Amino acid sequence: MQIIVLIALKDTEALKAVENAIKLDPNDKINKNIASIVRDVIAGKRQRPTFEDAVR
């Protein structure tokens, strides 16, 4: 879900959602990876993913 929120240009909501998910399961590698992507997009280090990226 976080990636879909990020694609929708809702960076803050995406980051908050993934941070909450990590609090629920700190060892979840998928959410940690998504958090990294969201932070990189916010920082301008990475292009925003597209819908096509999300369904691959």
Q: What is the pLDDT of residue 43?
A: 95
Q: What is the pLDDT of residue 9?
A: 78
Using alpha carbons, select from 38, 37, 32, 31 the residue that is nearest to residue 15.
38
Taking the C-alpha atoms of residue 18 and residue 20, their distance in angstroms, rounded to an integer, is 5
- pLDDT, one tens digit per residue, over 1-56 is 556 666 677 888 889 999 999 999 999 999 999 999 999 999 999 998 877 777 77
Cα-based angle 39, 9, 49 (whole degrees, multiple of 5): 65
Q: What is the pLDDT of residue 4?
A: 67
